[in-house]
A and B are shown apart, each in its own frame.
Chain A
Amino acid sequence: MKKLVAASAVLAALSAPAFAAEEVNVYSYRQPFLIEPMFEKFTAETGIKVNVMFAKKGLAEKIAQEGEFSPADVVLTVDISRLAELANKDLVQAVNSEVIEANIPAQYRDEEDAWFGLTLRTRSVYSSRDRVGELSEEFDYLDLAKPEWKGKICTRSGKHPYNVSLVASMIANHGEAEAKTWLEGFKANLARKPQGNDRAQVRAVSEGLCDLAIGNSYYLGKMVNTPEQVPWAESVYINFPGEKANGTHINISGMAMAKYAPNKENALKLMEFLTGDVAQSMYAEVNYEYPAKEGVKRSELVASWGDFVADDVSLETIADNHAAAMKLLDEVKFDL
């Protein structure tokens, strides 16, 4: 027992993070390969070391549990609902920075500066080149529920935050009752039970399993740049639904400063860096996302997909409808 106690004490001491002066701690939902190059650049420019913890789930809970002793400075998320969750649970602090304000347009920032969008992505509809062709300008998300698509649509789990946000935007635009009818029709049109990720849906289209797939825009860029996946990418058109209706559903990846950030100054530097030209164009070039900062060029590939009309329902409204969307998905048993 004594040995045990001694061993754990030594262990704890050894593995405790060293709290050096020049560092910043990031909790990240975003994947390592995307943001690590940016962190390297940031460290090279400022000398501040970036410590990261990557997770797919549960970071808000972790921060909440950790409370005032949380080491987290900056939280990076992949969608609006998680940013809103952080703000609603009072886990983040407002950041007043002229730099960020100048870089990120108001519609992609929280009114009280609790969170900031970094990149935009469209929830697009991919269509088979062979069997469907490019979708018309009239095509809207509502059409996904039309009987003509019966057995022809593929999507990932309805419970994935990207899809929950899409459903939340449908509730915001059409009301809960209509959204439910739509979701039932959409479910009835699925070629298979929701599964896999966005990339897997495009693969299913290329194999002829379905004609339409729901997916975020940047996946197409990623597939074009992965040799084995080029045939998948080449088998589809990317479409931006809703041009004649409410517009294309936009989600953001974003950031917030943790409420008890121990390295506040460094955190601010990192956040400002991420909204700057260098980082923003890296987001565009490396991950094929739409930079939130105006004037930063889209990647050539992304630009070639053409323009879209963005749904102007506010991100806050989408976040507010998150719980309602989850319930609808359960009610229609979307995934079952």
Chain B
Amino acid sequence: MTEKFLFWRTSSWGLSLLLVLPILAIVYTAIGDADEIFAHLMSTVLGTYAWNTLSVVAFTLLLAIIFGVPSAWLMVMCRVPGAKVLQWALVLPLAMPSYIVAYIYTDWFDYAGPVQIWLRNLFGWQTIHDYYFPDIRSIGGAALIMALVLFPYVYLLARGAFMEQSASLLNSARLLKCSPLESFRRLSLPLARPSIAVGASLVAMETVGDFGTMSYFAVPTLTTAVYDTWLGYSSLTAAAKLSAVMLLVIFLLLSAERYSRRKLKLFHQEVSAQPEPYPLSGWRKWAAAAWCWGLIGAAFLFPVFQLLYYAVNYFAESWTPEFRQYSINSLSVSFWAALIACFIAIAVNFNRRLVNKSSAVVPLRIASMGYAVPGTVLAIGVMIILVSTDHLINGFVRSLDYRPPGLLLSGTMFALIVAFVVRFSAVAIGSVESSLAKIPPSMDMAARTMGCNATAMLRRVHFPLIRRGILIAGLLVFIESMKELNAALLLRPFNFETLATYVFNFASDEQLEHAALPAILLVLVGLIPLIVVNRSLEQKS
């Protein structure tokens, strides 16, 4: 063991342990005594909350797979008109915060919205009892919105998997007179299953942790119950117990995802020549294009046009000094979070590369745990940790007979940054991990033979090769931080709003029109990383 290794080891272990502290704080709080409230919840509503959570996740997964997998297959295996645009446009919905899509759809499809009013006028219906219209504010509605916004995860991963499938295999299938549909069902789909499972688990985790959409749609889930319990019953302990239950659920989801990814390695093959895409003709061609455009329209274009309409009409009210200030706040907090997350991603990944032991993977996994914790819950954990650190600092300064500095960590932007880093480091770590994995070990050996020490090798060989991966990592953390609402609501300091909290404040008071401009900015900023990520995917292919 050399000195250099010691640096990577300590920094990766140190950082990952710091990241897991807020989660430990929640588990610790959960041990406290709130049995009476918890028992009351168990005997009354908890079953329904758990059932709702399961149903929303199940429906969302189903829809996300229905939206994501066929469109990925069409993009890779068929000649669809406009495919060049379609294949990146299908990623756009990821830039939309789900709660904004939820607000817009509710406005339109509620009983009091234009769609139902129009139908009533058209058919002369008088009351709600005269006809049936599905209720948007329901489990099904929430699942639809979540799936619309999240299906690109499934799409991206499935598309990657389809692109990697060997042409010879598919060509053999064709020779054996497999119809396109049959080859999809019997060959492509089973081969891509592990990747689809990875995408699906991301969708599932985001859905479990969602607060904005669920509370707006009046679908009480475990996440909304954490809020209710904490604030309604004034019991942080009971809320922490509930969070611990959720952590368990999420741990199970994660394990399933790991399990499926382990299989992925078995299936992984070198990228070979692409099979000749199926030419589509007649109605099939147009149906395929309509399917893809329909998805983009519903998940992205329609909400964006609605926002643009509001933004133009309310521009004067929205273009305020506050708006500009909040944009700067959001940008700077997200920037710092992205930067720090990248540092962490590099530290834990390089450590793993250098220290060739299975234990080196532990910091990687520990540092990724925050992603599994809903923002609300995480905010509580971060608050507990930062405030106690603040108290230690203040106590120490006071013991030296100086004036205590106050809440340096928890009362400032720092708290937000920490929360975002804890929550989104996993995204950065994953991105860096996958680009590092593409560098064959032979490269390391060559570098070492040529006299590079470990650090020089990382700096001169690995770093340039994974620069793009790091950039993507940073951008993904940046966009996620821009959108993050729950932690921001609780941890932001005085006179401080982010674009997300600003939008939420208006929208939750049924005044989305005043928040359209910041909402559009959120979406626009979200587009940048998507375009970059997609470009890199295209270059890969």
User: In the complex the two chains form, is B406's CB within 8 Å of A8's CB?
Assistant: no
User: In the complex the two chains form, is A209's CB within 8 Å of B414's CB?
Assistant: no
Shortest A104–chain B CB gap in Å is 25
Cβ-closest chain B residue relative to A229: B510
User: In the complex the two chains form, is B494's CB within 8 Å of A52's CB?
Assistant: yes
CA distance A194 to B15 in the complex (A): 44
Tell yes or no: A41 within 8 A of B by CB. Answer: no
Tell yes or no: A191 within 8 A of B by CB. Answer: yes
User: In the complex the two chains form, is A57's CB within 8 Å of B112's CB?
Assistant: no
Contact of B489 among A17, A57, A159 (CB under 8 A): A57
User: In the complex the two chains form, is B411's CB within 8 Å of A209's CB?
Assistant: no
Chain B residue contacts of A60, Cβ below 8 A: 234
CA distance A101 to B126 in the complex (A): 54
Tell yes or no: B509 within 8 A of A by CB. Answer: yes
Q: Which of A62-70, A173-181, A302-310 forms contacts with chain B?
A: A62-70
Shortest B468–chain A CB gap in Å is 22
Tell yes or no: A203 within 8 A of B by CB. Answer: yes
* A interface, size bucket: 35 or more
User: In the complex the two chains form, is A330's CB within 8 Å of B41's CB?
Assistant: yes
Shortest B127–chain A CB gap in Å is 6
User: In the complex the two chains form, is B44's CB within 8 Å of A65's CB?
Assistant: no
Tell yes or no: A185 within 8 A of B by CB. Answer: no
On whether A7 and B339 interact (CB within 8 A), knowing A17-B412, A336-B48, the answer reads: yes
User: In the complex the two chains form, is B40's CB within 8 Å of A195's CB?
Assistant: no
Q: Quick one: CB contact mask for A80-116 with B, threshold 8 Å, 1 for yes? A: 0000010001000000000000000000000000000
A positions within 8 Å CB-CB of B: 1, 3-4, 7-8, 11-12, 15-17, 19, 25, 31-32, 51-58, 60-62, 65-67, 69-71, 85, 89, 157, 159, 164, 191-197, 199-200, 203-204, 206-209, 262, 323, 326-327, 330-331, 333, 335-336
User: In the complex the two chains form, is A335's CB within 8 Å of B340's CB?
Assistant: no
Contact of A15 among B383, B412, B505 (CB under 8 A): B412
Chain A residue contacts of B410, Cβ below 8 A: 65-66
User: In the complex the two chains form, is A71's CB within 8 Å of B406's CB?
Assistant: yes
Chain B residue contacts of A1, Cβ below 8 A: 7, 11, 14-15, 343, 347
CA distance A32 to B509 in the complex (A): 12
Q: Which of B59-67, B224-232, B260-268, B269-277 forms contacts with chain A?
A: B224-232
User: In the complex the two chains form, is B404's CB within 8 Å of A69's CB?
Assistant: yes
On whether A71 and B407 interact (CB within 8 A), knowing A32-B505, A56-B508, A335-B220, the answer reads: yes
Contact of A12 among B111, B343, B414, B489 (CB under 8 A): B414
Chain A residue contacts of B128, Cβ below 8 A: 191, 208-209
User: In the complex the two chains form, is A12's CB within 8 Å of B135's CB?
Assistant: no
User: In the complex the two chains form, is B218's CB within 8 Å of A193's CB?
Assistant: yes
Chain B residue contacts of A8, Cβ below 8 A: 340, 414
Contact of B127 among A71, A164, A208 (CB under 8 A): A208
On whether A330 and B40 interact (CB within 8 A), knowing A55-B490, A67-B391, A208-B128, the answer reads: yes
Shortest B33–chain A CB gap in Å is 16
User: In the complex the two chains form, is B218's CB within 8 Å of A157's CB?
Assistant: yes
User: In the complex the two chains form, is A207's CB within 8 Å of B40's CB?
Assistant: no
A54-B497, A60-B234 given; name 6 further pairs at CB < 8 Å. Answer: A4-B343, A52-B495, A57-B227, A69-B394, A199-B509, A327-B44
CA distance A25 to B494 in the complex (A): 8
Interface residues of B in 224-280 (CB under 8 A from A): 227-228, 230-234, 236
Top 4 A-B pairs, shortest CB-CB distance: A195-B218, A207-B112, A15-B413, A51-B494
CA distance A15 to B112 in the complex (A): 45
Interface residues of B in 4-47 (CB under 8 A from A): 7, 11, 14-15, 40-41, 44-45
- 9 chain-A/chain-B pairs, Cβ below 8 angstroms: A1-B343, A3-B343, A17-B494, A57-B490, A58-B230, A69-B391, A197-B509, A326-B232, A335-B218
Tell yes or no: B457 within 8 A of A by CB. Answer: no
User: In the complex the two chains form, is A62's CB within 8 Å of B232's CB?
Assistant: no
Shortest A318–chain B CB gap in Å is 15
Chain A residue contacts of B339, Cβ below 8 A: 7
Chain B residue contacts of A15, Cβ below 8 A: 412-414, 493
Tell yes or no: B88 within 8 A of A by CB. Answer: no
On whether A204 and B406 interact (CB within 8 A), knowing A15-B412, A157-B218, A330-B44, the answer reads: no
CA distance A12 to B415 in the complex (A): 9
Chain A residue contacts of B220, Cβ below 8 A: 335-336
Tell yes or no: B202 within 8 A of A by CB. Answer: no
